[in-house]
């Protein structure tokens, strides 16, 4: 188990380093100069050169990279050129907003997706099955920003059940939840569609297994067969996909945050890219990939709890 | 079945059972007019190649025909009731306490993510109003009955931690958990090592005697089960082709298919180096059975007889009521033409 964990940690380090490296070089491929952006159109050549020297932008790119990595390992991700604040602090300030959205989205996705998938599988070929799968197909096909706009139109404008703005400065947790509800639902539904389809196919496979036939042959009630004996097996592949889905929903969160004018990691990174705020983008991506890797690792551990064969392997 | 017996004479009385699957080529009867009866405390061996309908017959008995297959005719009499007419819930009450089944592959027949104890408890609690603690105590007793060593410890093991033989014992423990009147064992030893096969058959015989059960041993290996069975039913292409006392079958089989099956059993007392007699031709294709007797193309008595091709021979008494054969020319076999 210790060896397993050590392996996982090492793998995590490599993944995050790789991610940040890719982002570092990609950013520098985007045309545009942060110094020009900061100093505006009327900056003189001298002041631009001075700022570039200060930011280290005049160094060859590989030296910039070594410098950046060296500092990153000591926890210094640089300073945002736009706000002048430490990049890491900026990122950590917007992290809770995104975490709340993604987490609420995933919870909603599981709560809706898994039961729908199970019902669909149990009634394979029925109208219920067809209906659920059609809705799921629509949920996957419609882009999340479009669903978001429709949701605002219907549930905030026509039927004013929820605020159109996805965030509030209020300290009241109920008000905050009320503002979170619609964006989370929009994010959750698109993921739910995916989870429902996956649960259905996993469930169909498990329901065809010998041990399900054995349980039925021993007169175990159908509800027990489906919801206890079969479901736990079917959840194994679903679980592994939830980790991937989480990364995906952090990506969709950028769109949802934009539609609902909600602060968060996604909208922060988006603004930083437009401003060529290299440090902020790098810090944001590093924290994001760390979060995704952490979640996948913890899911691997949950995996071991659900599936005893993994534990001893 | 031999008329003149009342249904009560049998633990299970299957009459003219037909189970069919729709296919592109039309409906195929995988179980075709099968009649079988098992007396209380009797062991019946059901023998045949893969695809002969032996497993499907007993899945149909339990109402577990895999969709889209379904029972299209016949009766399954058990405890004075026709199981084909029962509701799903009534049938569920029969499975376990009435008829229980042990399946072929103990590797796939146990749920990989539950301990064996949890799986036995699940079966007990499906039929008895007992708590988990009480059910667990019963499960330990059951594991003891199937000779699993140190059951109090092994009960918390997962299937993948046990050997094939242990897993099959676990499945048998599950099957006898509710003291069924009839135990159906579907190729219970096929997936096991040769050394373990005999142990499992011994165990089944022992439990059958202790609990006064009737037992069905489904097998493709007649030689293996001969010692444990009282009667045998030979199935071919969805039908019963011979039905008799097991020693009669061995001494004087009255269907050429049975003859061929017996000749394909390797014998230790036979001459060394002798080739095994394989049955000629291909196993029957249910989608394209020849007219008349389905075994005709592979029959050593000759495949070109007009009467064999005319219609499918019925399963009829041959000499005595206790020995049935679906061969028109059984007389030639009885005269010693077979071996």
For residue range B53-111, what is the model confidence (pLDDT) as tens digits? Answer: 888 999 999 988 888 888 888 889 998 888 888 888 888 999 989 999 998 888 889 99
How confident is the model over B248-272, as a mean pLDDT?
A: 78
For residue A225, give the nearest of A205, A204, A211, A239 by alpha carbon: A211
Is the predicted pLDDT of residue B32 greater than 70, yes or no?
yes
What pLDDT sits at residue B110?
Answer: 92
* CA B121/CA B114 separation, integer angstroms: 11
Residue contact A306–B113, C-beta within 8 A: yes
User: Is pLDDT at A119 greater than 60 in this prediction?
Assistant: yes
Angle at alpha carbon of residue A152, lines to A151 and A155, rounded to 5°:
70
Domain ranges of chain A: 96-273+284-312
Instruction: Read off the pLDDT band of B293 (50, 70, 90).
Output: confident
Q: How many CB pairs under 8 A join A and B?
A: 82
pLDDT value, residue A1: 65
**CA A296, CA A294: separation in Å to the nearest integer?**
5
Residue B337: what pLDDT? 44
The rounded distance, in Å, linking the Cα atoms of B22 and B104 is 25
Partners of B158 on chain A (C-beta within 8 Å) are: 308-309
Sheet containing B26-38: which strands, arranged edge to edge?
B26-38, B12-23, B70-78, B81-82
Secondary structure element (H or E) that encloses residue A50, with its range: helix A45-55
For tokens 């950013």, the residue is A27
Q: Contact at 8 Å (CB) between B204 and B45?
A: no
- Out of A160-169, B122-131, B141-150, B195-204, pick the least confident: A160-169
Task: Write out the H or E segment, with its range, that includes residue B34.
Answer: strand B26-38
pLDDT at B338: 42
Q: Which residues pair with B239 in a beta bridge?
A: B236
**Mean model confidence pLDDT for chain B:** 85
Which letter does DSSP use for residue A165 in this model? Answer: S
Q: Are B120 and B139 in contact (CB under 8 A)?
A: yes
Question: d(Cα B165, Cα B202) in Å, to the nearest integer?
Answer: 13
Is residue A27 within 8 A of residue A281, CB to CB? The reply is yes
The DSSP call for residue B190 is T
Domain that holds residue B333: 233-339
A232 contacts in chain B (CB < 8 Å): 113-114
CB atoms within 10 A of CB B339: 9
Q: Is the pTM of this model over 0.90?
A: no
pLDDT (mean) for A1-19: 80
Asked if A50 and A36 count as a contact pair (C-beta separation under 8 A), the reply is no
The pLDDT of residue A311: 62
B178 contacts in chain A (CB < 8 Å): 218-219
Residue A41 pLDDT grade (very low, low, confident, very high; cuts 50, 70, 90): confident
- Do strands B316-318 and B320-325 pair parallel, antiparallel, or not at all (unpaired)? antiparallel
User: Cβ of A218 and B95 within 8 Å?
Assistant: yes
Does the beta-carbon distance from B64 to A216 stay under 8 Å? yes
A236–B113 C-beta distance less than 8 A: yes
- Consecutive H or E run containing A258: helix A231-259
Distance CA B339, CA B267 (A): 14
Q: Are A199 and A206 in contact (CB under 8 A)?
A: no
Which positions in chain A touch B191 (Cβ < 8 Å)? Answer: none
The tokens describing A28, both together, are: 């520098």
* Residue B15 C-beta-side C-alpha neighbours within 13 Å: 15
The two structure tokens encoding residue B182: 């009839």
Confidence of residue B7 (pLDDT cuts 50, 70, 90): very low
Calculate the average pLDDT of chain A.
83
- What is the distance in angstroms between the Cα of B163 and the nearest Cα belonging to chain A? 15
- Low-confidence winner among A33-42, B161-170, B201-210, B298-307 (lowest mean pLDDT): A33-42
A218:B111 CB<8 A: no
User: Whose structure tokens read 């000591």?
Assistant: A74
Asked if the C-beta of A313 comes within 8 angstroms of chain B's C-beta atoms, the answer is no
pLDDT grade for B273, boundaries at 50, 70 and 90:
low
Instruction: Kindly state whether A233 is in contact with chain B, defined as any CB-CB distance less than 8 angstroms.
Output: yes
pLDDT at A295 over 80: yes
Judge whether B241 and B326 are in contact, CB under 8 Å. Answer: yes
Which residues of chain A make contact with B111, given a CB cutoff of 8 A?
211, 215, 229, 233
Q: Is residue B258 part of a domain?
A: yes
Between A169 and B316, residue with greater pLDDT: B316
Task: Work out the pLDDT band at B271, boundaries 50, 70, 90.
Answer: low
Q: What is the pLDDT of residue A112?
A: 92
Q: Which residue of B has its CA nearest to A230?
A: B111
- Put simply, the answer to whether B108 touches A217 (Cβ < 8 Å) is no
Structural domain includes residue B115: no
The answer to whether position B59 is within a domain reads: no
Mean pLDDT of B259-286: 72
Q: In sequence order, what are the residues at sequence separation of 6 or more whose Cβ sits closer than 8 angstroms to the Cβ of residue B25? A: B287
CB nearest to B100's CB, from A218, A224, A307: A218
Residue B74 placed within a domain:
no
The answer to whether the Cβ–Cβ distance between A224 and B122 falls below 8 Å is: yes
Residue B167 neighbours by CB under 8 Å, 6+ apart: B106, B107, B109, B110, B116, B159
Phi-psi region of A18 (alpha: psi -120 to 50; beta: other; left: phi over 0): alpha
Query: Is CATH 1.10.3720.10 the classification given to domain A96-273+284-312?
Result: yes
Tell me which residue in A209, A213, A221 faces B92 most closely, judged by beta carbons: A221
Check CB contact under 8 Å for A215 and B123: yes
**In chain A, whose CA is at the least distance from the CA of B156?**
A308
**pLDDT tens string B206-247:** 999 898 899 999 988 888 778 889 999 999 888 898 998 888
DSSP string, B74-132: EEEEETTEEGGGS-HHHHHHHBTTTEEEE-S-TTTSS-TTS-HHHHHHHHHHHHS---H
Neighbours of A259 (CB within 10 A): 21
Beta strands B214-219 and B182-186 are: parallel
* B157: chain A residues, CB-CB within 8 Å: none
A217 touches chain B (CB under 8 A): yes
For testing contact with chain A, the best of B88, B116, B122 (most A CBs within 10 A):
B122
Kindly report the backbone phi and psi dihedral angles of residue B96, in degrees, each rounded to the nearest multiple of 5, phi listed first. 110, -80
Classify residue B7 by its DSSP letter.
G
Distance of alpha carbon B154 from its chain centroid, rounded?
Answer: 30
Q: Nearest residue on chain A to B59, judged by CA atoms?
A: A217
Give this complex's ipTM: 0.83
In DSSP notation, B130-188 reads: --HHHHHHHHHHHHHHTT-SSHHHHTT--GGGS-HHHHHHHHHHHHHTT--SEEEEEST
Is B16 within a domain? no
Q: Which residues contact B268 (CB under 8 A, 6 or more apart)?
A: none
Considering the domain boundaries, does residue B163 fall inside one?
no
The structure tokens listed for A253 are 């969160």
Residue A101 has pLDDT above 70, yes or no: yes
* Chain segment A165-205, per-residue pLDDT in tens: 767 777 778 888 888 888 888 888 888 888 999 999 999 99
A11-25, A239-253, A284-298: the lowest-pLDDT one = A239-253
Higher pLDDT, A83 or B33: B33
Phi-psi bin for A152: left (phi > 0), alpha (psi -120 to 50), beta? alpha
Nearest CA distance, A56 vs chain B (angstrom): 56
Q: What is the pLDDT of residue B1?
A: 45
Q: Of A27, A132, A39, A130, give the one whose Cα is nearest residue A81.
A: A39
pLDDT band at B274 (very low <50, low <70, confident <90, very high): low
**Highest mean pLDDT pick, A41-50, A87-96, A157-166, B266-275:** A87-96
Among chain B residues, the shortest Cα distance to A234 is held by B113
> B249-258: per-residue pLDDT in tens?
888 888 888 8
Interface of A with B in 79-138 (CB under 8 A): none
Our count of domains for chain B comes to 1
Candidates A218, A221, A223, partner chain B, best to mutate (most B CBs within 10 A): A218
Residue A214 and residue B177: Cβ atoms within 8 Å? no
The pairing of strands B239-245 and B316-318 is unpaired
Closest CA to A243 of A295, A191, A170: A295
Residues in chain B whose Cβ is within 8 Å of chain A? 62, 64, 88, 92-97, 100-101, 103, 105, 108-114, 119, 122-123, 126-127, 158, 160-161, 171, 174-175, 177-178
Least confident of A106-115, A131-140, A166-175, B142-151: A166-175
For testing contact with chain B, the best of A121, A210, A219 (most B CBs within 10 A): A219
What is the enclosing helix (H) or strand (E) of A306?
helix A278-306
**Structure tokens belonging to residue B177:** 């958990």
């Amino acid at each position: 188990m210790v060896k397993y964990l050590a392996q996982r940690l090492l793998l995590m380090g490599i993944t995050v380093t790789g991610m940040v490296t890719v982002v570092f070089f990609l950013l520098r491929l985007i045309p545009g100069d942060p110094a020009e952006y900061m100093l505006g159109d009327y900056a003189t050549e001298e002041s631009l050169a001075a700022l570039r020297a200060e930011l280290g932008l005049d160094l060859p790119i590989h030296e910039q990279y070594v410098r950046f990595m060296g500092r990153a390992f000591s926890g210094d991700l640089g300073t945002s050129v736009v706000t002048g604040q430490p990049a890491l602090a900026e990122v950590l300030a917007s992290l809770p907003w995104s975490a709340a959205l993604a987490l609420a989205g995933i919870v909603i996705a599981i709560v809706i997706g898994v039961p729908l998938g199970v019902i669909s599988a149990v009634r394979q070929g029925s109208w219920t099955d067809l209906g659920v799968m059609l809705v799921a197909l629509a949920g996957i096909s419609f882009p999340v920003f479009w669903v978001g706009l429709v949701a605002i139109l219907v549930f905030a404008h026509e039927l004013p059940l929820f605020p159109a703005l996805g965030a509030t400065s209020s300290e009241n947790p109920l008000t905050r939840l009320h503002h979170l509800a619609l964006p989370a639902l929009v994010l959750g539904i698109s993921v739910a569609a995916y989870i429902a389809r996956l649960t259905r196919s996993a469930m169909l496979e498990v329901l065809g297994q010998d041990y399900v036939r054995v349980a039925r042959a021993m007169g175990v009630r159908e509800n027990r067969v489906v919801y206890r004996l079969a479901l736990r097996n079917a959840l194994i592949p679903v679980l592994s996909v939830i980790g991937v889905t989480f990364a995906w929903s952090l990506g969709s969160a950028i769109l949802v945050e934009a539609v609902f004018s909600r602060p968060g990691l996604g909208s922060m990174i988006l603004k930083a890219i437009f401003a060529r705020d290299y440090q902020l983008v790098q810090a944001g991506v590093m924290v994001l990939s760390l979060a995704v890797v952490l979640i996948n690792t913890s899911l691997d551990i949950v995996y071991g709890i659900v599936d005893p064969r993994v534990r001893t392997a | 079945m031999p008329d003149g017996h009342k249904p009560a004479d049998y633990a299970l009385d299957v009459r003219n059972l037909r189970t069919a699957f729709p296919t592109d080529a039309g409906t195929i009867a995988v179980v075709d007019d099968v009649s079988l009866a098992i007396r209380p405390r009797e062991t019946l061996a059901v023998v045949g190649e893969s695809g002969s309908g032996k497993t499907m017959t007993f899945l149909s008995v339990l109402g577990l025909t895999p969709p889209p297959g379904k029972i299209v005719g016949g009766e399954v009499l058990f405890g004075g009731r026709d199981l084909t007419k029962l509701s799903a819930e009534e049938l569920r009450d029969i499975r376990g306490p009435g008829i229980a089944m042990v399946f072929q592959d103990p590797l796939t027949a146990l749920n990989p993510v539950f301990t064996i104890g949890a799986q036995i408890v699940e079966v007990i609690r499906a039929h008895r109003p007992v708590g988990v603690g009480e059910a667990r105590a019963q499960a330990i007793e059951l594991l003891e009955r199937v000779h699993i060593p140190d059951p109090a410890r092994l009960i918390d093991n997962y299937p993948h931690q046990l050997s094939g033989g242990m897993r099959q014992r676990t499945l048998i423990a599950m099957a006898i958990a509710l003291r069924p009147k009839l135990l159906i064992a579907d190729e219970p030893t096929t997936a096991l090592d040769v050394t373990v096969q005999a142990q499992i058959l011994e165990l089944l015989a022992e439990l059958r005697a202790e609990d006064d059960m009737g037992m069905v041993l489904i097998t493709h290996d007649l030689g293996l089960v001969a010692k444990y069975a009282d009667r045998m039913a030979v199935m071919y292409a969805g039908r019963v082709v011979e039905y008799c006392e097991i020693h009669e079958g061995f001494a004087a089989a009255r269907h050429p298919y049975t003859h061929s099956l017996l000749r394909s059993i390797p014998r230790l007392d036979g001459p060394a180096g002798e080739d095994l007699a394989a049955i000629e031709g291909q196993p029957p294709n249910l989608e394209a059975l020849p007219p008349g007797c389905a075994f005709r193309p592979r029959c050593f008595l000759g495949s070109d007889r007009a009467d064999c091709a005319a219609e499918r021979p019925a399963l009829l008494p041959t000499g005595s009521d206790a020995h049935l054969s679906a061969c028109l020319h059984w007389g030639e076999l009885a005269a010693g033409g077979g071996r």
